[in-house]
Structure 1
Amino acid sequence: MTTEEPQRPDLARELIARATESAAHRAKRVRNQLDAVQLGQGRHTDHANTNVLRRILAEHDWPGHHLVDSEAARAAWSIALHSDDDPAFLRAAATLLGRAVQADDAPVQHWAHLHDRALTTSRRNQEYGTQLLLRADRIELCPLRAPESVDKRRATVSLPPIAVALETVRRRYMPNGTAYEVPSVVLAEAA
């Protein structure tokens, strides 16, 4: 990875702005602070963000550290991660992100999260245990392939053991021992 100036600072600014707006909206959603109209606006924003990222991927491949910068690359990952309404796009984005990881242009943890998200949105078992459900009274893992070996797989992509990750998420979303009063919300472990 690099610390040099990004090739496309304009794309970096756009990705960061879009991801920041979406993250603020999702935080309100998790805390059940949105009405039906605001929920719809959030879905529209995610859809628009997906289309912008789709254009960027078509023109530039994955927007990694060289093209944008590490903050904007993280923003691109966040946008892709929340493209749940388009499983084919998630799979394609995960493939391109995987290539960027191989070129040392993106973090492998981001790929693991996006790969798991693509699997769960396609109703398949995830590999790395990064996708979770926030329920009113608990946090649980989305279905996981071969749970007995998940920590070995997580280690290959520089993720902490699943117990550590789950405890971190529980502290974040269940500070008093109970989750926020929301319907089921799919979360991604922070990377």
Structure 2
Amino acid sequence: MKKIILFFGLVLSQVVLSQTKPIKDIAQELQIIGENDQKDRAQIEYIQSKYGSQSPEMNALWKSIGTSDSINIIKVSAILDRYGWLGPQEVGEEESKTLFMVVQHADLPIQEKYLPLMRKAVIDKKAKSSSLALLEDRVALRQGKKQIYGSQIAWDMKNNRNYILPLEDPDNVDKRRAKVGLPPLTDYIAYWNMKWDPEQYKKDLPEIEKMQQMKKK
């Protein structure tokens, strides 16, 4: 399946890159890509609560999400490589956000490729600094570093709880979040019924880092 998707992607990329489309056509394409990005993800909580996180139904959903992501990043890469980062004033608010969402859901090499482009887009006011912060965190963790803004949460199956993935300088995380327009960490993690205690987190951090190392093996 992956070989088929990659072949399809190479053909599709060449077709897209060989043409210059009107911005309105790109906006319409991004709208469809955005819908495809969220369609299966909207079912995650329902499928997980009904069948369980390790169920065949959940595995099938993740497989479908993976296939959709592979196709979406091919299309978005072709757009970014030809037109650069398109802002809300060019393609619309949601359509511009789709560029971020698809890159956010891509593999590390793709994220590393477009991270500098998104950084420039924030300077040019074509992307939100709050969105960039989420991508910065995801890339940092995948590179084996600590996240900066505390946006990445994981599930500990052994202790049946959510936890914040390795975070740099926990004492000042809210200052960093405020600078990029993110709410305090206490408010953010309340969605997962978590409480933020910097002192306790610093005590737990060695164990959290150990868990992350085990997952990589």
Which interval holds the TM-score relative to the shorter structure? 0.7 to 0.9
The one-letter amino acid paired with 2:64 is Q
2:152 corresponds to 1:131: yes
> What is the TM-score with the length of structure 1 in the denominator?
0.76
Contact preservation (8 Å) 2:40, 2:64: no
2:200 corresponds to 1:161: no
Contact preservation (8 Å) 1:128, 1:153: yes
Structure 2: distance between partners of 1:123 and 1:47? 24
Give me the CA root mean square deviation: 2.1
Question: Which of 46, 54, 69 in structure 1 is aligned with 2:92?
Answer: 69
Q: Which has the higher helix share?
A: 2
Structure 2: distance between partners of 1:135 and 1:26? 21
After superposition, give the CA deviation of every residue in 1:100-150 in whole Å (9 maximum; x if it has no partner): 110111111111111111112223211111111245633221111111111
Runs of 5+ consecutive residues of structure 1 not aligned to the other structure: 1-6, 172-191
* Greater C-alpha radius of gyration: 2
1:184 aligned partner: none
> What is the TM-score with the length of structure 2 in the denominator?
0.68
2:117 corresponds to 1:96: yes
Once the two structures are TM-superposed, the CA of residue 67 in structure 1 deviates from its matched residue by 2.9
Structure 2: distance between partners of 1:38 and 1:23? 12
1:57 aligned partner: 80
Count of aligned pairs between the two proteins: 163
Runs of 5+ consecutive residues of structure 2 not aligned to the other structure: 1-21, 49-56, 195-217
Structure 2: distance between partners of 1:119 and 1:145? 10
The one-letter amino acid paired with 1:146 is D
Contact preservation (8 Å) 1:91, 1:115: no
Structure 1: distance between partners of 2:193 and 2:38? 19
2:12 aligned partner: none
